[in-house]
Chains A and B, each alone.
Chain A
Amino acid sequence: MSEEAKTAAVPAVTTTAGNSAPAESKQLSNKELKELKKKEKAAKRAAQKTAIGITPEQQQKMAEQKIEKKKQQTATATNLKKQLDQTLLKPDVRKVPHLFGHLETREQRNASSPSISHIVHPAILSLTLKYSNYKVVGSTSRAKNMLIVFKKVIEDYVTPANTTLTRHLTGHLSHQIEYLKSGRPLSVSMGNAIRWLKQEISNISIDTTEAQAKEILCSKIDDFVKEKIEYSDKLIVDIASKHIVDGCTVLTYGHSQVLEELFQYCVLEQGKRFNLIIVDSRPLFEGKKLLKNLVNTFLPDDDINDLESINSAKFRMREPITKNHISVHYVLLNSLASTLLRDVDVVFLGAHAMLSNGRLYSRVGTALVAMMCHTRNIPVLTCCESIKFSDKVQLDSVTTNELADADDLIRNIDSKKPPQKKSFALEQFIKQQEEQNKPNKQQNTKKGTQTPTEESNEDESEPLKNWKEMKSLNILNILYDLTPPEYIDKVITELGSLPPSSVPVILREYKNT
Chain B
Amino acid sequence: MSLITPEIKSLIDPVVSSLKRHQIEGDQEIALAIAQLLMKVISAARWTNTYDLISIIRQVGIIIHKAYPRKIIPGNIVRRVLALIRDEIETEHENTPMMSSMFSLLSTTKCEVREDHSKKQMSDMRAIIIQGIRDLVDEITNVSEGLETMCVDLIHDNEVLLTPTPTSDTVLNFLIKARTKRNFTVLVMENYPNEIKKAHQFAKTLAQHNIETVLIPDTTTYAVMSRVGKVIIGTNAVFANGGCLSNSGVANVVECAKEHKTPVFAVGGLYKLSPLYPFSRDDLIEVGNSGHVLNYDDFELVDNVEVVTNPLEDYIPPEHIDIFITNIGGFAPSFIYRIVLDNYKVEDNKLE
A→B interface (CB under 8 Å): 97, 99, 275, 281-283, 288, 291-292, 294-295, 320, 322-323, 327-340, 364-365, 367-368, 371-372, 375, 396-398, 401, 409-410, 413, 416, 460-464, 467, 470-478, 480-482
Contact = CB atoms under 8 A, between A and B. Distances in A.
A281 B218 contact: yes
A494 to B, nearest CB: 28
A334 B212 CA distance: 25
Contact of A368 (B197, B222, B314): B222
B252 A464 contact: no
Contact of A334 (B191, B201, B301): B191
Given A330-B293, A335-B310, A476 B218 contact: no
B102 interface: no
A464 B301 CA distance: 30
28 contacts: A97-B185, A288-B301, A291-B301, A323-B304, A327-B306, A329-B306, A329-B308, A329-B309, A331-B293, A331-B308, A332-B193, A333-B252, A334-B192, A334-B218, A336-B252, A338-B314, A339-B282, A340-B309, A367-B222, A375-B259, A398-B223, A398-B224, A413-B196, A463-B204, A467-B215, A472-B211, A472-B213, A476-B220
Interface in B187-238: 187, 190-193, 196-197, 200-201, 203-204, 206-208, 210-224, 226-227
Interface in B241-262: 248-252, 255-256, 259
A476 B208 contact: no
Given A413-B197, A475-B215, 10 more contacts: A99-B224, A295-B301, A334-B314, A368-B219, A371-B255, A375-B259, A396-B223, A461-B197, A476-B187, A481-B219
A330 B292 CA distance: 12
A416 B211 contact: no
Interface string B320-342: 00000000000000000000000
**Interface pairs A-B: 6 shortest CB-CB:** A334-B249, A337-B251, A365-B219, A397-B223, A473-B207, A367-B222
A335 B227 CA distance: 24
B105 interface: no
Interface string B291-309: 0011100101100111111
Q: Chain B CB within 10 Å — which of A294, A460, A475 has the most? A: A475
B215 A334 contact: no
A481 B255 contact: no
Interface residues of B, number: 58
A329 B310 CA distance: 11
Contact of A295 (B160, B223, B295, B304): B304
B321 to A, nearest CB: 14
B100 to A, nearest CB: 54
Nearest to A278: B305
B252 A364 contact: no
A397 B201 CA distance: 27
Nearest to B300: A295
Q: Chain A CB within 10 Å — which of B223, B251, B311 has the most? A: B223
A329 B307 contact: yes
A281 B219 contact: yes
Given A330-B307, A371-B255, A409-B215, A472 B248 contact: no
Contacts of B306: 275, 327-329
A470 B219 contact: no
Contacts of A481: 219-220, 222-223
Contacts of A275: 306
Contacts of B304: 291, 294-295, 320, 322-323, 328
Nearest to A332: B293
B307 A472 contact: no
Nearest to A466: B204
B285 interface: yes
A470 B209 CA distance: 11
Contacts of B305: 291, 322, 328-330
Contact of B204 (A288, A328, A334, A470): A470
Contacts of B300: 292, 295
B215 A396 contact: no
Contacts of A470: 204, 207-208
